Amino acid sequence: MKGSILPTQKINRAQKAMMSNLENCMPIKRIAAVHDICGYGKCSLGTALPILSSAGFEVCPVPTGIYSKQTNFKNPVILDSSEILDDYIKS
């Protein structure tokens, strides 16, 4: 059988390295970041994404609302996305 390694065959360095890498692979941890996102400010999903990514997670953003700026500023424009969340998550 060409290409397969039988127990009696010698394994070269490249094959050993490849097998070691496969054995040591950790599955990627996936996380849903359910949060609002704002255009101006230092809170919300815009801050959570890079922090979770740098911690080794594959981040799946689920925006619950879109804000033009943080709510502590005057007159933010707010778009509630709760009506589309079911379709968003299913897709």
Per-residue pLDDT tens over the stretch 29-39:
889 999 888 88
Which of 60, 10, 58, 73 is closest to 33 using CA atoms? Answer: 60
Q: What is the DSSP letter of 48?
A: H
- Residue 61 makes CB contacts below 8 A (sequence gap 6+) with 33, 35, 37, 45, 49
Domain-embedded: residue 14: no
Domain-embedded: residue 84: yes
Domain-embedded: residue 19: no
| Domain carrying residue 34 | 28-90
Q: What is the DSSP letter of 27?
A: P
- When divided into structural domains, the chain yields a total of 1
pTM listed for this prediction = 0.59
Domain-embedded: residue 47: yes
Per-residue pLDDT tens over the stretch 4-16:
555 555 666 766 6
Q: For the sheet containing 57-67, what is the strand order? A: 29-38, 57-67, 78-80
